[in-house]
């Protein structure tokens, strides 16, 4: 009888331990505002898990992820070795993983050859996966890339992983959040500190607020407008009313396609920043 009571006590203690709140502080910063994404709502959005930080990314084909250049570079502007990265797709939760999750390693990283870390120009990169993502899949899909101009006031969603609360219990575990954003007038963005005179034609901005803004960890995440991947978050992720800055996907569609072609036909793991031959950004009507 005493043995039975002891066994019950041990299992009860174990169960109690499992129910203890998990401290996610340090895993993810906050996303101010936003709503929780539902299964299959943004199937092309992925989590980019790096050696020192998390970023966002978007699936542009079964073997490649589009993200920002400043996500994959170290403090010396060198590309971080691909072996330290992994991609989490198909899951709207960070932890614990669900049965829908698909994880891939990264074998090659390509940064735009004209990326300027001081002005933020051409802040895009492609990550090649060790093997293709399974398609078709209920919660994984290749993004439809925007080719048209995004008008001022267009309503969009920034899709990123994070916590939209500062509580650290299991009820508020890090997960995919979509944050409503509207395209901002370029002149207003240019005049907004700290982006003054640094907003190129290949960039777009969205209006943020003290209660609705991206934060650290959202870099590289996709901006979706009318269901199309429209921007790659590259700056303004300050958790405040400073406008968020994105690279316009439509300006880099040719670069994306050409880089994927190169990636499919080369064993080169890294792309030096002085590498030439990639198409320059193109802006059409």
Distance of CA 219 to the CA centre of its chain: 6
State the CATH number of the domain containing residue 129: 2.40.10.10
Residues 228 and 197 in one domain: yes
Q: 137 - beta bridge partners?
A: 140
Residue 267 has a pLDDT of: 65
Residues 240 and 256 in one domain: no
Is residue 273 included in any domain, yes or no?
no
Residues 162 and 114 in one domain: no
Q: Show the domain range for 97.
A: 43-142+251-263
Is residue 80 included in any domain, yes or no?
yes
Residues 77 and 49 in one domain: yes
Is residue 284 included in any domain, yes or no?
no
Residues 167 and 110 in one domain: no
pLDDT at 4 over 60: no
Is residue 270 included in any domain, yes or no?
no
pLDDT-above-90 percentage for the chain:
60
Q: How many residues does the chain have?
A: 285
Task: Place 6 in a pLDDT band, splitting at 50, 70 and 90.
Answer: very low
Is residue 242 included in any domain, yes or no?
yes
What is the arrangement of strands in the sheet containing 35-36, beginning at the earlier edge strand?
A: 35-36, 175-182, 155-162, 222-225, 228-235, 244-248, 203-206
Residue 172 has a pLDDT of: 56
pLDDT at 175 over 50: yes
What's the rounded mean pLDDT across residues 236-246? 88
What's the rounded mean pLDDT across residues 195-210? 87
Is residue 274 included in any domain, yes or no?
no
Residues 202 and 70 in one domain: no
pLDDT at 145 over 80: yes
Phi, psi angle pair for 84, to nearest 5°: -90, 5
Residues 94 and 118 in one domain: yes
pTM over 0.75: yes
Task: Place 167 in a pLDDT band, splitting at 50, 70 and 90.
Answer: low
Interval 76-127: pLDDT, tens? 999 999 999 999 999 999 888 999 999 999 999 999 999 999 899 999 999 9
| Total Cβ atoms within 10 A of residue 141 | 18
| Average pLDDT of the residues of the chain | 84
Is residue 208 included in any domain, yes or no?
yes
Residues 132 and 256 in one domain: yes
| Total Cβ atoms within 10 A of residue 200 | 19
What's the rounded mean pLDDT across residues 243-261? 96
pLDDT at 210 over 90: no
Residues 240 and 183 in one domain: yes
Residues 239 and 201 in one domain: yes
Distance of CA 14 to the CA centre of its chain: 36
Is residue 76 included in any domain, yes or no?
yes
Peptide bond into 194 cis (omega under 30): yes
Q: Which residue has the higher pLDDT, 248 or 175?
A: 248
Cβ atoms of residues 183 and 152 within 8 Å: yes
Residues 165 and 129 in one domain: no
Residues 113 and 185 in one domain: no
Residue with tokens 């994404």: 37
What's the rounded mean pLDDT across residues 132-138? 96
pLDDT at 183 over 70: yes
Residue 238 has a pLDDT of: 81
| Token reading at 259 | 């880089």
Residue 124 has a pLDDT of: 98
Interval 41-89: pLDDT, tens? 999 999 999 987 889 999 999 999 999 999 999 999 999 999 999 999 9
pLDDT at 239 over 90: no
Residue 18 has a pLDDT of: 38
Per the structure, how many domains does the chain have? 2
């Amino acid at each position: 009888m005493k043995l039975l009571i002891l066994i019950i006590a041990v299992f009860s203690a174990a169960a109690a331990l499992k129910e203890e709140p998990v401290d996610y502080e340090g895993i993810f910063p906050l996303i101010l505002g936003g709503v929780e994404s539902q299964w299959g709502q943004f199937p092309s959005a992925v989590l980019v898990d790096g050696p020192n930080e998390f970023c966002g990314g978007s699936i542009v084909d079964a073997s490649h992820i589009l993200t920002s250049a400043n996500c994959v570079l170290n403090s010396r502007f060198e590309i971080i070795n691909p072996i330290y990265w992994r991609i989490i797709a198909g899951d709207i939760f960070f932890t614990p993983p669900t049965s829908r999750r698909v994880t891939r390693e990264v074998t090659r990283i390509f940064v735009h050859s004209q990326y300027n870390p001081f002005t933020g120009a051409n802040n895009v990169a492609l990550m090649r996966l060790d093997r293709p993502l399974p398609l078709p899949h209920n919660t994984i899909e290749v993004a439809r890339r925007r080719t048209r101009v995004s008008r001022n006031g267009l309503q969009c969603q920034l899709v990123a992983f994070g916590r939209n609360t500062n509580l650290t219990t299991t009820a508020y575990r890090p997960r995919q959040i979509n944050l409503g954003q509207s395209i901002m007038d370029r002149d207003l963005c240019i005049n907004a500190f700290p982006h003054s005179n640094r907003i190129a034609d290949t960039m777009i901005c969205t209006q943020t607020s003290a209660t609705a803004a991206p934060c650290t960890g959202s870099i590289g995440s996709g901006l979706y407008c009318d269901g199309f991947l429209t921007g790659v978050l590259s700056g303004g992720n300050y958790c405040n009313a400073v406008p968020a800055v994105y690279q316009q996907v439509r300006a880099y569609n040719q670069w994306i396609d050409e880089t994927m072609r190169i990636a499919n036909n080369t064993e080169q793991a890294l792309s030096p920043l002085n590498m030439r031959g990639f198409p320059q950004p193109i802006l059409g009507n």
